């Protein structure tokens, strides 16, 4: 029965996003911007999958996913900016010229080639995650300590990215790209293509995560979440498992970031401040943690709500979000996906109570 | 040949004020200036006065330059810089005497601007005074303008200016301006000195006077090799000595700012550490209680100035201290009742829920108060303790240090000398066992939350002394204060104090080596490495109390 339910959900999801939405656009019901916006949400959902793996399944609350997301975005942004600069005949991106920099910094060099850029966008976050993870997990930092330290790390990185002398655009970030792989970013068909690519990557990522969680590896992860000491007593190398899942989560975030950039056309350090990193975790909490579908739906739903609320009643968005946080944590431990279960449980408990009193 | 003739002429003109004949012409020009028959006459009159440089005309010229020239009964007067509370000004006559005007009973004459006739001098005319502005500004009532005038005169060398400079210095009352003035005087004398002995004497005077500019001045002199090699070397040595002393003082200053930042962190982290230790709650809204404390202070100020109508008082701040404690504490207690109570010993969940609460609180504050407000620093705490001319310890920072010491003392007494403290420590160690022994753990928890939030409110009140009050002010401190808790060890008073001060010091010291941002990154890396050795903080629980 459970698998049947799942299949139905997948079919619904695919039909809606892969057929109905593009069809709506092609027949003229939807604007290309709506398509693009949903494409962006898919990128968030990919990152949310990573958070679900590390938090929902392994029980490690990592607040630096937003940083990995931005690393991916920044990598692609550097590539696009260099391409544009070269095409216009200049040697340096505009903002560097304004900052009176004469030669291209060494770390910008590899981003001339698309292949290298993609490789680095994956390698750099993975390397960062590996080092951070190694340092933190080896010293058996977990739970709240992990959350706070990763949070502080994100804050520090945010501060570094804000600086002009790091040559990453400072507060303004990187923006003003025109083409990707030779295709103009402003054209509708490119936007549609990016949307479809994001959807495809999301589905692939979902599938991979599904396989991971249903493999032996995934079972060990859940065992770590439920009782870390017991897992280590049974001779599993907990640190290795945690490190592996931390790197995978970072990679997912980076992939999300890479796809996110060409669809928004701007990346600023604001994407990785304290607020953004907590919000990313919140998508998963609202959707239902320890539940891959929940992570995806949570990310899509919160962002969709955000775009609706900020246009309808901009002042109240933070109230709504805040209340959602509180209510979810207090009453819907399993998030949106577990809503049915939670209500059913409460209901049956109530019935049990009444039947007992009778 | 021509130029030397011109120079001689100029010298004659400059010496003119020394002759009494100048005095008479000054009266004529002043009259022309105030009642000009034509615009060109006035222009010429100002031009002549600018060249004559008669000290008696300086107040008048200064009034023109500052656009504060008025006529009262056809006599030139100027106004005081600050009006009284009724909007009236004290008046000063300008020429030939510069005195405070009094009414018939001998009291200062107070008049509103409307009773005076403004004399408009066109900008082009005023510009003629730019050359001698430093001269008459030596007698300005604003010490900063006087300082500027002194430093502008540093490179002049004519004896007329020198005598005016000396006259001004004799009357100088402001310490900073006096130092700058002496600096200028000695500099002029130094460049005039023709013997090694007098040059050295002036170098010594400059070094003893030790203005901000002294090392630069001496280095310039040394580089120019003005008199001979010996004086140049002497000046360079003195400059190096001054710089070294300055560096030492700078180190003291860094130490002090580290102590100040550290005590703020301790103040904020104290409540956080107690709450986290007792209830296992990561209170992300802790920073917002600080914000509430700050806004309470702001509101107290508003109530005192607007509702009670006591504008010039420091009282409001000392009222605000307990108020902010109570208001923040009460709100914290409400929060505990509504939300936190359901999340005991679920730190990660509590982190998310309280983050939600903090969003709500920030937005509420933004809707209520707007984006930026500031609390006026009480007069009592304005300024600073001037330990030496180059080392000033601001009173507000000293106050914060004292406050946090007091708070730490009281918290210690509360935790280790009262029954409540005993209960808090017991619940912190083992909740179930304490409950079994008859401690009402819930009551203890809510009281603790009240105290913890109240302490944050107190911190917020203190922070209004050094910064603006903005809705998201809590966010700037929250991560730092969590780091303090994590480094210090959970729920440990000594750990919190030690790590708070330590992080404060390290931040300020690394900021003096790197830039602020890299200092912060450095701290973070340092903490991460530290956690490699002490994963449970400075003072970890030992033995059976320690969890898995």
Tens-digit pLDDT profile for residues B80-91: 777 777 777 888
**Strand ranges across the sheet with B110-112:** B110-112, B88-93, B75-79, B70-72, B117-118
pLDDT tier, B50 (very low <50, low <70, confident <90, very high otherwise)? confident
- The verdict on a CB contact (< 8 Å) between A144 and B282 is yes
Residue B16's pLDDT is 46
Residue A296 Cα, gap to closest chain B Cα (Å) = 19
Any B CB within 8 A of A282 CB: yes
- Per-residue pLDDT reduced to its tens digit, B390-439: 788 888 889 999 999 999 999 999 999 999 999 998 888 888 899 999 99
Residue A281 Cα, gap to closest chain B Cα (Å) = 8
Residues A245/A49, Cβ–Cβ less than 8 Å = no
pLDDT tier, B25 (very low <50, low <70, confident <90, very high otherwise)? confident
- Per-residue pLDDT reduced to its tens digit, B434-461: 999 999 988 999 999 999 999 999 999 9
CA–CA distances in Å: residue B187 to residues A331, B315, B390: 76, 47, 20
Of A164, A280, A186, A199, nearest in space to A21 by CA: A199
Of B185, B121, B181, nearest in space to B145 by CA: B181
Task: Provide the mean pLDDT of chain A.
Answer: 87
Of A278, A277, A297, A300, nearest in space to A288 by CA: A297
User: In DSSP terms, which residues pair with B89 in a beta bridge?
Assistant: B111
Mean pLDDT throughout B170-174?
A: 79
Q: Choose the mutation target among B344, B351, B365, B472 for the interface with A, i.e. most A CBs under 10 Å.
A: B351
Q: Is B280 left (phi over 0), alpha (psi -120 to 50) or beta?
A: left
Three-class DSSP category at B99? coil
Residues A266/A177, Cβ–Cβ less than 8 Å = no
CATH code reported for the domain at B254-381+394-541: 1.10.3470
Residue B548's pLDDT is 46
Residue A350 Cα, gap to closest chain B Cα (Å) = 20
Does position B224 have pLDDT exceeding 60, yes or no? Answer: yes
Max CA-CA distance within chain A?
85
Mean pLDDT throughout A146-175?
A: 86
Any B CB within 8 A of A138 CB: yes
- The verdict on a CB contact (< 8 Å) between A329 and B362 is no
Q: Containing H/E element for A180?
A: strand A179-180
Q: Both tokens of residue A32?
A: 């290309």
Residue B475: its chain A contacts at CB < 8 A?
274-275
- The verdict on a CB contact (< 8 Å) between A325 and B282 is no
Residue B33's pLDDT is 77
**What are φ and ψ of residue B72, in 5° steps?**
-125, 115
- The verdict on a CB contact (< 8 Å) between A325 and B352 is yes
Task: Provide the mean pLDDT of chain B.
Answer: 81
Question: Which DSSP category does A188 fall into?
Answer: H
Residue A358's pLDDT is 55
State the Cα–Cα distance between residues B502 and B265, nearest whole angstrom: 10
Q: Containing H/E element for B361?
A: helix B347-369
Any A CB within 8 A of B546 CB: no
- The verdict on a CB contact (< 8 Å) between B535 and A156 is no
- The verdict on a CB contact (< 8 Å) between B531 and A145 is yes
Q: Which of A19-33, A155-169, A190-204, A328-342 has the lowest mean pLDDT?
A: A328-342
Domain spans in chain A, listed from the N-terminal domain onward: 31-357
User: What are the helix (H) ranges across B373-440?
Assistant: 395-417, 419-429, 431-436
- Per-residue pLDDT reduced to its tens digit, B466-492: 888 888 888 888 888 888 888 887 767
Residue A204's pLDDT is 94
Q: At what angle do helices A317-331 and A274-287 cross, to 10 degrees?
A: 50
More reliable by pLDDT, B332 or B213: B332
Residue B543's pLDDT is 64
- Per-residue pLDDT reduced to its tens digit, A258-313: 999 999 988 999 888 888 888 898 899 888 888 898 899 999 999 999 888 888 88
Does position B21 have pLDDT exceeding 60, yes or no? Answer: no
Residue A356's pLDDT is 63
Residue A273: its chain B contacts at CB < 8 A?
none
Does position B517 have pLDDT exceeding 80, yes or no? Answer: no
Q: Both tokens of residue B217?
A: 């001045």
Residue A176's pLDDT is 83
State the Cα–Cα distance between residues A97 and B281, nearest whole angstrom: 49
Residue B23's pLDDT is 62
More reliable by pLDDT, B532 or B261: B261
Any A CB within 8 A of B12 CB: no
Residues A57/A245, Cβ–Cβ less than 8 Å = yes
- The verdict on a CB contact (< 8 Å) between A159 and B359 is no
Residue B365's pLDDT is 92
Domain spans in chain B, listed from the N-terminal domain onward: 12-134, 138-227, 254-381+394-541
More reliable by pLDDT, B254 or B501: B501
% of chain A surpassing 70 pLDDT: 97
Three-class DSSP category at A6? helix
pLDDT tier, A209 (very low <50, low <70, confident <90, very high otherwise)? very high
State the Cα–Cα distance between residues A162 and A156, nearest whole angstrom: 10
Residues B322/B410, Cβ–Cβ less than 8 Å = no
Residue A162: its chain B contacts at CB < 8 A?
517
Residue A135 Cα, gap to closest chain B Cα (Å) = 7
Residue of B357, B362, B531 lying closest to A139 (CB–CB): B531
% of chain B surpassing 70 pLDDT: 93
Q: Which residue of chain B has the CA closest to A273?
A: B475
What is the total residue count of chain B?
548
Q: Choose the mutation target among A327, A330, A331, A335 for the interface with B, i.e. most B CBs under 10 Å.
A: A330
């Amino acid at each position: 029965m459970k698998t049947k339910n799942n299949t139905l959900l997948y079919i619904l999801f695919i039909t809606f996003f892969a057929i109905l939405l593009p069809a709506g656009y092609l027949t003229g019901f939807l604007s290309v911007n709506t398509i693009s916006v949903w494409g962006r949400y898919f990128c968030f959902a990919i990152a949310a999958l990573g958070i679900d793996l590390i938090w929902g399944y392994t029980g490690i609350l990592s607040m630096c996913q937003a940083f990995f997301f931005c690393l991916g975005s920044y990598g692609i942004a550097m590539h696009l900016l260099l391409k544009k600069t070269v095409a216009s005949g200049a040697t340096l991106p505009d903002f560097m010229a304004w900052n009176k920099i004469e030669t291209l910094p060494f770390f910008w060099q590899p981003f001339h080639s698309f292949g290298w850029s993609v490789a680095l966008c994956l390698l750099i976050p993975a390397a960062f995650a590996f080092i951070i993870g190694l340092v933190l997990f080896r010293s058996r930092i977990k739970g709240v300590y992990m959350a706070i330290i990763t949070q502080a790390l994100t804050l520090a990185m945010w501060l570094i990215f804000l600086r002009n002398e790091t040559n990453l655009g400072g507060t303004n970030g990187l923006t003003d790209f025109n083409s990707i792989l030779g295709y103009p970013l402003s054209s509708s068909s490119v936007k549609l293509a990016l949307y479809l690519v994001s959807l495809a990557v999301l589905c692939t990522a979902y599938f991979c995560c599904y396989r991971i969680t249903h493999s032996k590896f995934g079972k060990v992860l859940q065992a770590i979440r439920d009782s870390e000491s017991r897992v280590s007593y049974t001779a599993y190398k907990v640190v290795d498992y945690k490190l592996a899942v931390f790197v995978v989560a970072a990679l997912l975030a980076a992939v999300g970031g890479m796809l996110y950039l060409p669809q928004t056309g701007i990346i600023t350090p604001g994407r990785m401040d304290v607020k953004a990193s907590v919000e990313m975790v919140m998508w998963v909490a609202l959707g239902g943690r320890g539940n891959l579908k929940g992570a995806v739906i949570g990310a899509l739903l919160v962002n969709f709500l955000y775009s609706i609320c900020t246009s309808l009643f901009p002042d109240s968005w933070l109230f709504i979000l805040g209340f959602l946080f509180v209510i979810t944590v207090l009453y819907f431990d399993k998030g949106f996906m577990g809503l049915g279960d939670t209500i059913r449980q409460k209901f049956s408990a109530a019935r049990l109570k009444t039947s007992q009193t009778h | 040949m021509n130029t030397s003739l011109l120079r001689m002429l100029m010298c004659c003109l400059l010496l003119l004020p020394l002759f009494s004949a100048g005095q008479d012409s000054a009266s004529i020009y002043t009259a022309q200036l105030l009642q000009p028959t034509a615009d060109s006459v006035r222009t010429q009159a100002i031009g002549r006065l600018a060249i004559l440089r008669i000290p008696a005309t300086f107040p008048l010229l200064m009034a023109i330059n500052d656009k504060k020239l008025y006529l009262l009964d056809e006599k030139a007067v100027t106004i005081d810089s600050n009006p009284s509370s009724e909007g009236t000004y004290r008046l000063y006559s300008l020429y030939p005497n510069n005195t405070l005007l009094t009414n018939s009973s001998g009291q200062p004459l107070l008049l509103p601007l409307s009773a005076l006739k403004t004399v408009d001098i066109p900008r082009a005319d005023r510009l003629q005074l730019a050359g001698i502005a430093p001269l008459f500004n030596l007698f300005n009532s604003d010490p900063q303008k006087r300082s500027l005038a002194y430093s502008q005169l540093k490179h002049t060398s004519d004896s007329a200016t020198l005598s005016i400079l000396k006259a001004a210095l004799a009357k100088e009352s402001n310490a900073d301006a006096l130092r700058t003035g002496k600096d200028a005087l000695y500099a002029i004398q130094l460049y005039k000195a023709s013997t090694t002995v007098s040059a050295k004497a002036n170098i010594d005077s400059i070094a003893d006077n030790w203005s901000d500019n002294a090392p630069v001045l001496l280095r310039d002199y040394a580089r120019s090799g003005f008199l001979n090699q010996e004086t140049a070397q002497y000046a360079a040595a003195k400059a190096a000595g001054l710089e070294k002393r300055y560096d030492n003082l700078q180190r003291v200053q860094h130490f002090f700012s580290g102590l100040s930042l550290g005590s703020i962190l301790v103040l904020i982290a104290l409540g956080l550490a107690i709450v986290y230790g007792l209830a296992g709650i990561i209170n992300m809204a802790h920073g917002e209680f600080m914000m509430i404390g700050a806004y309470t202070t702001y509101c107290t100020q508003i109530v005192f100035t607007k509702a009670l109508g006591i504008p010039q008082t420091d009282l409001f701040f000392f009222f605000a201290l307990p108020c902010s404690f109570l208001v923040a504490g009460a709100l914290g207690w409400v929060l505990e009742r509504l939300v936190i109570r359901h999340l005991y010993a679920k730190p990660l969940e509590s982190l998310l829920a309280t983050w939600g609460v903090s969003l709500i609180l920030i937005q509420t504050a933004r809707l209520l108060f707007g984006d930026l407000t500031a609390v006026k620093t009480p007069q009592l705490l304005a300024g600073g303790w001037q330990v030496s001319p180059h080392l000033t310890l601001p009173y507000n920072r000293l106050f914060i240090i004292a406050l946090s010491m007091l708070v730490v003392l009281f918290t210690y007494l509360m935790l280790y000398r009262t029954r409540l403290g005993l209960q808090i420590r017991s619940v912190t160690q083992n909740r179930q066992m304490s409950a079994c022994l008859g401690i009402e753990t819930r009551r203890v928890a809510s009281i603790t939350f009240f105290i913890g939030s109240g302490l944050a409110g107190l911190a917020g009140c203190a922070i209004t002394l050094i910064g603006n009050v903005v809705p998201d002010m809590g966010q700037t401190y929250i991560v730092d204060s969590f780091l303090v808790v994590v480094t210090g060890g959970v729920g440990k008073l000594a750990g919190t104090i030690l790590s708070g001060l330590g992080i404060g010091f390290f931040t300020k010291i690394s900021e003096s080596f790197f830039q602020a941002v890299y200092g912060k990154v450095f701290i973070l890396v340092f903490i991460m490495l530290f956690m490699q050795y002490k994963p449970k903080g400075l003072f970890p629980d030992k033995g059976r109390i320690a969890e898995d």
